[in-house]
Structure formats: structure tokens, C-alpha cells
Amino acid sequence: MKLNSNHSKFIKQLALQHGFDYCGIAKATFLDDDAKRLEQWIKKKRHGNMQYMERYFDLRVDPTKIVPGAKSVITLLKNYFPSATQKTDAPKISKYAFGKDYHDTIRNSLNAMLTTIRTNIGEIQGRGFVDSAPVLERSWAQRSGLGWIGKNGNLITKESGSFYFIATLITDLSLEYDDPFIKDYCGTCTRCIEACPTEAILPDKEIDGSRCISYFTIELKDALLPEKMKGKFDNWMFGCDICQDVCPWNRFSQPNQEVEFTPIPEVLNLSTSEWNALTEDSFKKIFKHSPLRRSKFQGIKRNLQFLQSSV
């Protein structure tokens, strides 16, 4: 298929209709620089026990390995910044997990977009992803002109900060490509580096995933958390938003308009004592459609006990 700017405009309009806030398009190409950085990052064991980061290396840096004949990588951003906040004395939960699991919400939107694209443009090959495949989403977002990668490793938009989910559509459709986002607006600011209690944010935009609070509270499945980390979690029970909360660009964040991301009342209102008293049956019922399922009941209990033993 030939490059068609009308197709690009149609896809960007479609993205807005399906609830995405930003849409950018990049040429599907081998990510040479990212491949080198990722290889070094893994060699340094920055991924901790996240063994899945070692798998499918070639797929992470080459979109044509995921979608044969891929020509375009479409990146979509969806705001998750909430209007509500938790009780100040409650165990902290990352904002992305306030409502229903974003995987389900965004996957439905991606599938609907693909169906509409095929109906209006023709039979194309394409796949949509949201944390479900070895795709370097932030690199593609930067290449698509949506923002820059900050010192905290997050994609930052100049207009409205970094509280966004990133989704990706890889397709064999030739499209008009956006210019990459070249400038880095972090400048000399080091607030995220200074604020991280576990020193997970390293110089040169390198993140030590094995020291990140989100890694310990979500990814690490060990029965016990490391003693050396006691007192460093700042009461975070699931995930961590510190590096985003202190980022000056997030003063521009606006509450999301997605009904599916409406906070689950218990996320906002349960006190520490109520979390401690929560039964497994209640947890499964209340958080049936929540990202908190990822840590499972035992993981949440482990995290709670660790926070309380650190006081």
C-alpha cells in the first residue's frame, strides 16, 4: 500500500473517538540504539527477577518480528490522572490502579480501532498491544513526536505531563510519519532523582528496576521483601508515583474522563486497619477487575506487613 496522509488523519481522528488523548505515528524500523541500551541494562541486572525482560529480545527492537511486513508503529496515549485522592493515612496505591484494569479497557479500544480501520481502508495486518508484548512503548512514543523520555524513565508530554498509559498498534499499512520529539525539557532538574527513596533513578536516564518500589510491591513474588529496604517505601503498598508526583511537568495534569478509571471506593477509603482486616474472599470480590489482582491477596498482605514492620 502507498503512503497516504488521509489514512493517517483518519487514524488520528479515530484514536480520539475511542478515548485516546494523543496519537503519533512512526516508521517501523529496527531500534538500533535501544537494542544497545537494553542489552547493557540486562547485563547489569537492572531488571532484577523480571526474567521476562531477557526473553524475546529481537522482538523488542524490531517490530517486523511481531507483525511481518510492518511499516508503521502507531502510539496512543490515554490519561489516567485521577480527580480523587486516597485517605492521607492509608497505604498508598499508584494512581494507575485506582479504577478498573486498564489492560481490558485499552485492549477493547485497540480491537475496535483495528476493526474500523479494516472496514474503511481495507484488509491490513496489524496487532494492538498494551503491556502485552515485548514492545518498547516509550521509545516509539518519542519517535512518534508525543514527548520525551524523562530522567525517571517515563514519557513526558509538554502539554500535560506523564500520567498516561501507552498503547501501540503495529501495522503493515504505509502512513505519514510524525517527526520524532527531539528536545529534552527536563533540563537540569533532578527532582525525581533526589526524591526516589530507594535510589532507583540513576544518571543518564537509566533506571535500576531492581531497586524500584513498584518492582518490590508488584513484580517481586518472593514471600519476603529484602530487609535492607525497610523504611524506604514511604508507605507505598502497590506501585509508586513519587518520581511523577515531584515532576514539575505534572502540574499540567488534568483529571481523566474515562468512566472505567473511576476509582474503586475501597481504594480511596480503606484505612490501614481495614486493609489489615480484609479477607481473601473480600479482596477477590472488591478487586475482581482491579490491577491490584496482579499482586494477589498474599502479595498485598506481604506488602502491608513489610510497611508496618518498617515503622
Name the DSSP class of 233. Answer: S
Beta strand 148-149 with 155-156: parallel, antiparallel or unpaired?
A: antiparallel
Q: In this structure, are residues 169 and 110 in contact, taking their beta carbons and an 8 Å threshold?
A: yes
Residue 310's pLDDT is 77
Residue 59's pLDDT is 67
* CA angle at 131 for the pair 249 and 62, rounded to the nearest 5°: 100
Residue 212's pLDDT is 95
Positions of the chain with pLDDT lower than 70, given as ranges: 1-4, 34-59, 132-134, 311
Query: pLDDT per residue over 55-91, tens digit each?
Result: 555 667 789 988 999 999 999 999 999 999 998 889 9
φ, ψ of residue 108 to 5 degrees: the values are -60, -40
Of the candidates 164, 183, 190, 160, the one whose C-alpha atom is nearest the C-alpha of residue 251 is: 160
Residue 46's pLDDT is 64
The Cα–Cα gap between 127 and 181 comes to 24
Average pLDDT, the chain: 91
pTM for this predicted structure = 0.92
Q: In this structure, are residues 142 and 25 in contact, taking their beta carbons and an 8 Å threshold?
A: no
Name the DSSP class of 83. Answer: S
- The alpha carbon torsion through 60, 66, 67, 69 (nearest 10 deg) reads 70
Estimate to the nearest angstrom the gap between the alpha carbon of 114 and the chain centroid. 21
Q: Helix %, strand %, coil % for the chain, to 5?
A: 45, 15, 45
Known active-site residue 131 = yes
Residue 2's pLDDT is 45
C-alpha distances out from residue 212 to 136, 249, 251, 298, Å: 19, 21, 23, 20
Residue 57's pLDDT is 59
Among the listed residues 34, 131, 234, 245, the single catalytic one is 131
